[in-house]
A and B are shown apart, each in its own frame.
Chain A
Amino acid sequence: MMQALHDVLAPFGPQAAHVRELWLLTLAVCTVVFAAVLAALLLALLRAPRANAQSSPDLSALMRPEPGKRRSVIAAVAASTLLLLALIAASIFTDRALARLSTEGALRLDVTAHQWWWEVRYVEPNVADSFVTANEIHVPTGRPVIVTLKADDVIHSFWLPSLAGKKDLLPGRTATMHFRADRDGIYRGQCAEFCGSQHALMAFFVVADPPERYAAWAAAQRRTASEPTSEQPVRGREIFMRSSCAMCHAIDGTAAQAVRGPNLTHVASRGTLAAGALPNTPEDLKRWIADPQQTKPGTYMPATKLAPEEMDALVGYLQTLR
């Protein structure tokens, strides 16, 4: 499995870093208040004399007011109000700071959430340069990214803890989200809004690379699938085209053009299968194709029954899709 970062308090981009600062401030204020309330409670418990049900109640409070206590309570309420107002201000300033991330020269992505995987379209000014991938997003470090979020079926939520927080993807609406990764690394994200049976296994990865490495990756992704040369992958492609695979998946440069499932043009270049459910190894790929319900009960991918040598050929072919 891919080792990835997913920690709100360990930010690797300006958005998550702003939130962490606000978090530290809020935590400090809350800790002080919590400690003060508990200390007051403990003191009250320690200093008060003990009594029992037969002790006569102290009714003096009914006869004369208690100015000292009144002053303390008013002071405590006033102090809490001031602290809350400060936190509201801090929250609003952080919100502004988040909105100020420069999006000049930003990379544009369209993310569409499906039950239960992510479709990612790289939108380039030149339409021919656009390409589609799934569950794995590569971005160049230091360059802002604008993600347009859409949902294909139900509500999902795009959560990227180490870089940017989250935003919902709603059917019939679009939303956008900005982030920038300042250090290269692999960042894990996951669907945060309950979206049905396989909500639990709907992860995605953001791979931040230095710009050159990103450019090389993007160039590779733009190419259509390479023609298999040796005999086994050729046979594998045949199996792909005549089995149910081609009913749902697309492989650019071939006859398979369905959009029900993830685009497989460069499937072998991805780190995981099935939205992070399995590492992308030939054995796991076989396991996944033969019985997807084993790994992801409820997934819409049907089981594909193939003879062992057919399965080898199919997986051999998919392994060539880099």
Chain B
Amino acid sequence: MQNAHAMNPPGDAPASRLKDGPGPGSREAAALDATWSDPPGLLGWLAAVNHKSIARRFIATTFFFFLAGGLLALVMRLQLARPGSKLVGPDLYNQLFTMHGSTMMFLFAVPVMQAVAVYLVPLMLGTRSIAFPRLNAFAYWIFLFGGVMLYVVFVLGAGPDVGWFSYVPLAGPDYSPGKRADFWAQMITFTELSALLEAIVVITTVFKLRAPGMTLNRIPLFVWAMLVTAFMVLFAMPSVMLASTMLIMDRLVGSHFFNPAEGGDVVLWQHLFWFFGHPEVYLIFLPGLGFLSAIIPTFARRPIFGYTAMVLSLIATAFLAFGLWVHHMFAVNLPELGKSFFTAASMLIAIPSAVQIFCWLATLWSGKLDFKTPLLFVLGFFFILVLGGMTGIMLASVPLDLQVHDSYFVVAHLHYVLIGGAVFPLFGAFYYWYPKITGRLMSERLGRWNFWLFFTGFNVAFFPMHLLGLKGMPRRVYTYQAGLGWDTMNMVATIGALTIAAAVLLFIVNAVRSLRHGAPAGANPWGAGTLEWATESPPPPCNFHAIPVVHGREPLWEPPRTEADGARPAFTHVGGLAADTRELLATTVLDARPDLRVNFPDPTIWPFVSAVAVTALFIGSIFTPWAVVWGSIPIAIALTAWFWPQRAETSVHLSLERKPWQ
């Protein structure tokens, strides 16, 4: 397969036999660019399946949700700045914190990581596409519609108001009449469906579409992190989808899963929710670790220390994350012995994280440092996440948790862990990979301001909340009375929140301004070692005009092998895939040897139409169970059209199958 290029018959090849080749500017490269581009026009935009187009939209959408969620938080902080404030009443406030939590967890944190993965994983693996590009497009549309639906009902004044955790029976039919909780439940099922589909896409891509030579122990650590995350999604998300479906059945058709008066159980909801909810934290956090493992080696100018330990600790974290959901339920009357087990599991999950942190320290310790903005955000991560980890250890202890659970201490802890563990790395990642997406660098000067404002604002906003919790302030309260000793610290926290908002504004200014005015980046502005920097910035539609062959973990850093190095000649890239049809090279799972030539589907509007049909069913099902019956008809039609074999496509695939050497 590697020398398939040589088998290309000489002479003027007919169109269907044009093979890919190295280098931009060649006829082959132009054909590849045309093949892998999305079709023009509005219909073409809706039909797009190129992973980079979908990922750019996905990232932008999640960023808008991040801004919306942040804005809600700002209103909450303004309300809490003074005791007895009349800025918003309980009804709006309860919607605000429900929408804030739901947005950040379901519409930002997990999707943004998956969106970044959809962009970067194929580039890092040296392939032309993610697996299942149409499914990927479908997952994006589902996500978009689910999120937009939630915001539409919120703007219409019917936002859910029972918390992002939506505990029953408060979220059940008796105590939340109206349709608020139904919209919430359906949005959950929607966005988690999208997460599941993206997980399948990522897992298949990582296992089957790696560049030849990229054995399992040469996969970049960010890809490892996303692979582990994707597996966690597969196990965690069904739990919450099941729970939200049970909830809507309780509300819509009068089942009694959570109604104690009819033999249901309110604690069942909590088990199902936190069996998802705790792994959720780690599946936000693991991609953050992946970002760090990409950024640190580049700016420390050396390979990561302890690659194998890093991979194993990612896997260990994923396993342990499923064994500690009960630490959200210590205040529920559960058996004592079980609680000790969950205390131990919750504390011991700190060990794999510690392994990662010590390995990064070892990497920095012996590196030569290039203090660019991405590295600054990494250093911010160290301070914030380690502090958040410490308070996590406190929360894992049953007696301590019984004091601080559901107090502002927990609010402080979870923001330290989630913002420190995911948002700081994400900002660093944005500065780091921005040139790969746009072709230009972001301003370093603004980047530094952005970092210091964010870092300071973050600590001013969230550190006082630890003390508020210890002073007895419960969370999820829309107001508090003067004279309880909470006034000053709440004011300070609000000032911190405003500083964070300024930092985010500065970030937007930097990102938008750099689109036009940033310095042109070139293929590898940071001198990094992984494959995504081997191609132009931004990458061509096909990512790589010739599929690279990998010989180590840092392909761009290692000196090119020549025949003089060893007995076997070393290939730097693979040729021979068709340039005028979407053909990919699939490799074996363990050692990434060329395995198959796979024909990929073309752009089509049907994933979009299917997503619209699914949305119609889900929204209809909020109002009548019959929507499930009638709504499935358009879905069936759309899916049939989606999978209907196209004669032209089939004939190309058949001819390539029959004569693979052509």
Residues in chain A within 8 A of chain B (CB atoms):
1, 3, 6-9, 16, 18-19, 22-23, 26-27, 30-31, 33-34, 37-38, 40-41, 43-45, 47-59, 61-62, 66, 69-70, 72-73, 76-77, 80-81, 84, 87-88, 90-92, 94-95, 98-99, 115, 153-155, 157, 159, 161-162, 165-168, 170-175, 188, 190-201, 276, 297-298
Contacts and interface: CB of A to CB of B under 8 A. Distances in A.
22 contacts: A8-B404, A8-B470, A22-B397, A22-B400, A33-B390, A41-B379, A48-B368, A61-B302, A62-B554, A66-B305, A69-B366, A73-B305, A73-B306, A73-B359, A77-B355, A87-B397, A94-B397, A166-B405, A167-B402, A173-B333, A188-B472, A196-B170
A199 B475 CA distance: 10
A190 B343 CA distance: 25
Interface string B395-414: 01111101111110000000
B472 A7 contact: yes
Contacts of B477: 199-200
B562 interface: no
Interface of B: 89-91, 94, 162-163, 167, 169-170, 174-175, 260-261, 265-267, 300-303, 305-306, 309, 331-333, 336, 339-340, 343-344, 347-348, 350-351, 354-355, 357-359, 361-362, 364-371, 379, 382-383, 386-387, 390-391, 393-394, 396-400, 402-407, 469-472, 474-481, 483-485, 524-527, 529, 552-554, 557-558
A311 B52 CA distance: 70
Contacts of A168: 331-333
Contact of B266 (A26, A167, A172): A172
Contact of B369 (A49, A66, A92, A154): A49
A172 B369 contact: no
Given A155-B266, A172-B265, A54 B527 contact: yes
A171 B174 CA distance: 13
Given A44-B365, A48-B369, A91 B399 contact: yes
Contacts of A98: 399
A83 B230 CA distance: 32
Given A8-B472, A48-B365, A200-B476, 8 more contacts: A34-B387, A40-B361, A54-B527, A55-B368, A69-B365, A70-B306, A199-B90, A297-B90
Identify which of B169, B403, B529 gathers the most chain A CB atoms within 10 Å of its CB: B403
A91 B343 contact: yes
Contacts of A162: 472
Contact of B301 (A7, A55, A165): A55
Given A91-B397, A167-B331, A59 B558 contact: yes
B474 A197 contact: no
A267 B382 CA distance: 55
B362 A8 contact: no
A9 B470 contact: yes
A59 B552 CA distance: 11
B409 to A, nearest CB: 8
A58 B368 contact: yes
B403 A161 contact: yes
Contact of A6 (B358, B368, B472, B524): B472
A98 B89 CA distance: 39
A173 to B, nearest CB: 6
B368 A34 contact: no
A298 B90 contact: yes
Given A33-B390, A34-B386, A57 B554 contact: yes
B439 to A, nearest CB: 16
Nearest to A50: B369
Given A38-B383, A50-B370, A59 B364 contact: no
B527 A19 contact: no
Nearest to A169: B333
Identify which of A33, A95, A168 gathers the most chain B CB atoms within 10 Å of its CB: A168
Nearest to B170: A154
A26 B472 contact: no
Nearest to A155: B167
A53 B525 CA distance: 7
Nearest to A80: B354
B470 A175 contact: no
A149 to B, nearest CB: 8
B402 A165 contact: yes
Contact of B340 (A1, A23, A41, A95): A95
Given A38-B382, A48-B367, A170-B332, A88 B90 contact: no
Given A58-B367, A81-B351, A155-B169, A41 B303 contact: no
A84 B355 CA distance: 14
A197 B90 contact: yes
B351 A84 contact: yes
A166 B336 contact: no
Nearest to B333: A175
B303 A59 contact: yes
A161 B408 CA distance: 13
Contacts of B397: 22, 26, 87-88, 90-91, 94
Contacts of B525: 53
Given A188-B472, A199-B477, A55 B370 contact: yes
A51 B301 contact: yes
B312 to A, nearest CB: 12
A19 B301 CA distance: 47
B347 A154 contact: no
A52 B402 CA distance: 50
Nearest to A75: B358
Given A57-B302, A190-B472, A192-B405, A94 B163 contact: no
A16 to B, nearest CB: 8
A200 to B, nearest CB: 4
Contact of B400 (A58, A88, A91, A201): A91
Contacts of A154: 167, 169-170, 175
Given A51-B301, A200-B480, A88 B368 contact: no
Contacts of B393: 26, 30, 84, 87
A190 B403 CA distance: 12
Nearest to B481: A1
A26 B369 contact: no
Identify which of B359, B368, B391, B485 gathers the most chain A CB atoms within 10 Å of its CB: B368
Contacts of B400: 19, 22-23, 26, 91
Q: Nearest 9 pairs between A and B by C-beta? A: A172-B260, A6-B472, A51-B368, A165-B402, A200-B477, A175-B333, A91-B397, A30-B390, A53-B527
A55 B527 contact: yes
Nearest to B398: A95
Contacts of B340: 92, 95
A69 B305 CA distance: 9
Contacts of A53: 370, 524-527
Contact of B358 (A16, A62, A77, A194): A77
Contacts of A193: 167, 331, 406
Contacts of A8: 403-404, 469-472
A69 B302 contact: no
B94 A6 contact: no
Contact of A51 (B333, B369, B405): B369
A166 B485 CA distance: 20
Contacts of A196: 94, 162, 170, 175
B405 A172 contact: no
Contacts of B469: 8
Identify which of A69, A99, A276 gathers the most chain B CB atoms within 10 Å of its CB: A69
A6 B366 CA distance: 49
B269 to A, nearest CB: 10
Nearest to B163: A194
Contacts of A49: 368-369
Contacts of A197: 90-91, 94
A88 to B, nearest CB: 5
Contacts of B167: 154-155, 193-194
